[in-house]
Amino acid sequence: MVEFKAVINDVKTGKSYQVAVAGHHANSLIGKKIGDVVDGIFVSLPGYKLTIAGGSDRDGVPMRADLPGVRRKNILLSKSIGFTSNEQGLRRRKLVRGNTVSTDTTQINMVISSVGSKSVEDLLPKKEEKK
C-alpha cells in the first residue's frame, strides 16, 4: 500500500499541519502534478480545496515543477528549488524528481486554496505534547 505524509499549509494563519494519507485516498493522489487542485477529502478536510505545491521522495530528493514525469534526473541548477548558494553565479548539477506524484513519493506539500465551512484546527486531530 502507498502511504504519504501530507504537509498542509494554511496561508492565512501561517501554520502547517501534517496528516498521514493511506489507502484509497493515497491511491487517488498518484498521478497528480504540482499545481493541480485536489479535494480536501483526501486529507480529512471535507469542503476544502488544496493545491499541490511540491514534495519529496523516500531519499529526500525534492520535486520540481518544471521537470515532467516521475523520473529522477541530474540537472544543472542555479539558486532555486533543490539548490541554494551563497556565491553569485554558482551552478551545480543536483538530483531532483519530476513534478508527478508517484509511489516513490513520501511527502506531499499542499497549500489551502479555498476554505471549507469548519476551521482546519477543528477537523484535524491535535497532537499531544510530551512533557
Asked, for residue 30, whether it belongs to a domain, the answer is yes
How many structural domains compose the chain?
Answer: 1
| Structural domain contains residue 116 | yes
End-to-end Cα separation, the chain, in angstroms: 34
Cβ atoms of 95 and 62 within 8 Å: the answer is no
109: which 3 cell numbers? 506539500
Give yes or no for a contact between 109 and 4, defined as CB atoms under 8 angstroms apart: no
pLDDT tens figures, 22-78: 999 999 999 999 999 999 998 889 999 999 999 999 999 999 999 999 999 999 998
In a domain, 29, yes or no: yes
Predicted confidence (pLDDT) per residue in 83-118, tens digit = 888 888 899 999 999 999 999 999 999 999 998 888
Q: ∠ CA 32-124-99 to the nearest 5 degrees?
A: 15
Query: Is 129 inside a domain boundary?
Result: no
pLDDT at 130 over 70: no
113 part of a folded domain = yes
What's the CA gap between 110 and 125, in Å, rounded? 18
- Residue 83 included in any domain: no
The answer to whether residue 16 sits within a structural domain is: yes
Give the structural domain span for 116.
Answer: 3-61+99-123
- 77 within some domain: no
